[in-house]
Amino acid sequence: MIIRSEKNWLKLLFVWNGSVLRMIVPQLIFMFAVGIVALMTDGRIFGEKVPLNTIPFTLAGVALAIFLAFRNNASYDRYWEARKLWGHILVSTRNLASLRLSCGDTGTVEKDLFLNRIIAFPYALKHMLRNTDAADDLALLLGEEEKTLRTVNNKPMAILDRLRKSLFALRKQGGVSDTQVWLIDNQLSQLSEMSGGCERIFSTPIPFAYSVLLHRTVYGYCILLPFGLVDSIGAATPIVSVFISYTLLALEAIAGDIADPFSRNQNGLPLSSISRTIERNVRELNGQAIPDPIKPNKKFELV
C-alpha cells in the first residue's frame, strides 16, 4: 500500500499513483476506438445498423450497477476484516509486551529475546501472507534462532509456540505467577486467532465464477454502449463512452485490487508500516531506541 499524505480536491483529480487508472488505460483506449468506429459507421457493423438505443442500456446498467456493488462490497468486507485483524494484532502485541515487562526480571537476555519474538511475529505473518522471504527481518530480531525457522512452513505459529514454551519455562523458574501465565497465554491465544483469520482470508478467494461473470458483462456492456449512444449524442459518443467505461472498469479493477488485502499492490494494507508501529511500541515499552516510522514518501514505495 502507498503511505501518502492527504491531498486536496484538485490533486485528487489528477492523481496517478494509487489509482486504478494506470491498470485500465489500454482498455479505455480500446473503448475510445470502438466509439470512433460506431461514430464513423453511424452505428453499423458490416453495413447493418445495430438496432440499439439507450433504453436497454438503462435497464442493463441498473442490473450491472447492483452486481458491481455486490462485488465491491464483498471485496471491501475482506479488506476491512483484514484491517481489523491487524488492528487486534497491534493491540495484543502491546498488551503482551506490557504483561511480560510487568513480570519479575529473570535476566535481560531472556526478556529481550521474549520481546524480540513478539516483534518478529507480525513481520513473519506479513511475509507469509505476501509469499515473501522473512529471513532478513527475522535474522535482525532473532539472530541465530532465525536459522531454525527457515524450514518451518508457518513461521508465525512457530514463534508463538516458542513464546508459549518460554512462558512456561519462566513459570517453572518462579518468574511469573499463575495469574500472569493465564493473562499472557490469553494474549498468545488471541494472536493465534488473528493469524488464523488472516490465513482464512488469504486462502479463500472470492469464487472465480463471480469474477468471470462480472468481467464479461462489463466488457460486453462497454463495447455495445457506443452503438446505443451514437444516434442520440452523435460526435460526443467516444468521449461519453470512455467516461462511462472508466467508471465500470475502474470499479471492477478496484474490487479485484482490494479482494486480496495482503498483496503488495498500491491499495493493499500497509503491513510493513503496521509491523514497524508494533516494533516501535514494544521497544519503547522496553526503554530501547525506537526505529523511525514509515512516513509518506514521494517515491510511492509499496509497504
DSSP characters for 216-250?
HHHHHHHHHHHHHHHHHHGGGHHHHHHHHHHHHHH
CA distance 88 to 195: 10
Cβ–Cβ under 8 Å, residues 107 and 173 = no
The number of domains in the chain is 1
C-alpha cell at 292: 523511525
Q: Does 210 fall in a domain?
A: yes
Which residues, given as ranges, of the chain have pLDDT below 50? 299-302
Q: Does 29 fall in a domain?
A: yes
Q: Does 295 fall in a domain?
A: no
Q: Does 67 fall in a domain?
A: yes
Identity of the residue numbered 28: L
Residue span of the structural domain in which 153 resides:
9-285
Residues facing 49 on adjacent strands: 44
C-alpha cell at 130: 505476501
Q: Does 226 fall in a domain?
A: yes
CA distance 227 to 180: 72
- What lies within 8 Å, CB to CB, of 83 at 6+ separation is 261, 269
Alpha carbon dihedral 264, 296, 283, 182, in 10-degree steps, equals -50
| Residue position matching grid coordinates 460486453 | 220
Q: Is 47 left (phi over 0), alpha (psi -120 to 50) or beta?
A: left
Q: Does 1 fall in a domain?
A: no
Q: Does 40 fall in a domain?
A: yes
CB hemisphere CA count around 252 (13 angstroms): 23
- For every residue of 62-109, DSSP letters joined together read HHHHHHHHHHHHHHHHHHHHHHHHHHHHHHHHHHHHHHHHTS----HH
φ, ψ dihedrals at 267, nearest 5°: -115, 15
CB hemisphere CA count around 108 (13 angstroms): 3
Q: Is 107 left (phi over 0), alpha (psi -120 to 50) or beta?
A: left
Neighbours of 199 (CB within 10 A): 16
Name which of 147, 154, 97, 128 is nearest 286 in CA terms.
Answer: 97
CA distance 110 to 125: 23
* pLDDT at residue number 7: 63
Quick check: pTM over 0.75? yes
* pLDDT at residue number 300: 45
Cβ–Cβ under 8 Å, residues 159 and 148 = no
User: Length of the chain, please?
Assistant: 303
The DSSP H or E segment spanning 184 is helix 178-203
Q: Does 148 fall in a domain?
A: yes
